[in-house]
Amino acid sequence: MADQSAKQGGGPIIKIAFFVVLALVLLSGAIFAPEHPGLAIHPMDQFEIKPLFGGDHLGTFTPTNQTLWMVLAIVGIVLLLVVGSRGRAIVPTRGQSIAELAYGFVYKMVEDVAGKDAVKYFPGIMTLFMFIVFANFLGLIPTSFTATSHIAVTAVLALIVFVFVTVLGFVKNGVGFLGLFWVSAAPLPLRPVLAIIEIISYFVRPVSHSIRLAGNMMAGHAVIKVFAGFAAALGLFGFLPILAIAAFYALEVLVAFIQAYVFSILTCVYLKDALHPSH
């Protein structure tokens, strides 16, 4: 009898729970509303770099909150790829199949986009991809720090790729690498103009490569922070921005992965240009 009533009450219980949660949210908005409601939004505060163990001095080797989250990214990568694959099982466990999935995903990307002869640079691209994925996803944890939202970090990543690809292009092809800028398909009078445009676009590559990643991360986190400020300011109706934050968070989960994917796939494209500079 009791069982039956519980079954019948399944729908209403969920409804009641929903309304209870809604009421709590509204109530908390009323209770915790700031004394002087106003738009005191500081979306950039979350990106501040602070020394991890207190103090104001920030030297080159001081561990910071950013260092902490980069180390956590290393820990995550080790947990996934080293601890996850320690069984070496023919029939993989759950962790091992995720590690194999990540391996296969990046390997196939390098093979498909950059070509078979680029496979020997696969560990480097895997390093970039895993670091960016873990930094992005760890940054989505509330109150954490997103290492990839800093232009210094992404600029170094992009410069490593740019310098490596340029040097590799000249080592592999010699002067022939300059053929990348000489569009032989275009009419002859147009070619010098196109060459200038190509050279400019080549040097803009690391800029867009780095700003895309940092900008996406920064924009998403800043937008969430702005909506959080709205939630604090609106008091009773604070649940509306909170719902918007949930939607943005879902989008950010997607963006966190897509940006890591885009960063590595563009690295593969640049690598292909260096190995086969035919235009």
Partner 1 sequence: MELVAAAALGKFIGAGLAAIGSGAAAIGVGHVAGNFLAGALRNPSAAAAQTATLFIGIAFAEALGIFSFLVALLLMFAV
Partner 2 sequence: MASNTQQTTDAAHGADAAHGGAEAAGMPQLDFSTFGNQIFWLVVTLVVIYLVLTKVALPRIEAVLAERRGTITSDLAAAEELKQKAVEAEEAYNKALADARAEANKIVADARAEIQGEVDAAAAKADAEIAAKAAESEAAIAEIRAGAVDSVKAVAKDTAKEILASLGYKADAKSITAAVTSRMKG
One of 77, 132, 165, 265 touching partner 1 (CB under 8 A): 265
Chain length of the chain: 279
265 three-class SS: helix
Residues that bind partner 2 (CB under 8 A): 36-40, 42, 44-45, 47-49, 58-64, 66-67, 70-71, 73-74, 77-78, 81-82, 85-86, 88-90, 92, 96, 99-100, 103-104, 122-124, 126-127, 130-131, 147, 149-153, 156-157, 160, 214, 218
| Contacts (Cβ under 8 Å, ≥6 apart) of 64 | 49, 50, 51, 52, 58
Interacting span for partner 1 (CB under 8 A) from 30-38, 87-95, 107-115, 161-169: 107-115
Nearer to partner 1 (CB atom), residue 28 or residue 208: 208
Count Cα atoms within 13 angstroms, Cβ side, for 243: 8
How far apart are CB 113 and partner 1 at their closest, in Å? 6
Q: Give the closest residue to 50 by CA, choosing from 70, 67, 71, 73.
A: 67
Residues 8, 13, 15: CA angle, nearest 5 degrees: 120
x-marked contacts with partner 1 along 109-138 as a string, rule CB under 8 A:
x--xx-------------------------
Give backbone dihedrals phi and psi of 51, rounded to 5 degrees, phi first.
Answer: -60, 140
Contact status: 48 vs partner 1 (CB under 8 A): no
How far is 244 from 253, CA to CA, in rounded Å?
14
Long-range contact pairs involving 30-33 (C-beta distance under 8 Å, separation at least 24): 30/235, 30/236, 33/232, 33/235, 33/236, 33/238
109 binds, among partner 1, partner 2, none (CB under 5 to 8 A by kind): partner 1
How far apart are CB 124 and partner 2 at their closest, in Å? 7
Nearer to partner 1 (CB atom), residue 98 or residue 262: 262
x-marked contacts with partner 1 along 198-217 as a string, rule CB under 8 A:
----------x--xx--xx-
Nearer to partner 2 (CB atom), residue 3 or residue 45: 45
64 binds, among partner 1, partner 2, none (CB under 5 to 8 A by kind): partner 2
> 76-100 burial by CB neighbour count: b if 16+ within 10 A, else e?
bbeebbeebbeeeeeebeebbeebe
Question: Which residues is 64 bridged to in the sheet?
Answer: 51
Residue 196 has a CB neighbour count (10 Å cut-off) of 11
Residues that bind partner 1 (CB under 8 A): 44, 109, 112-113, 208, 211-212, 215-216, 218-219, 222, 258, 261-262, 265-266, 269
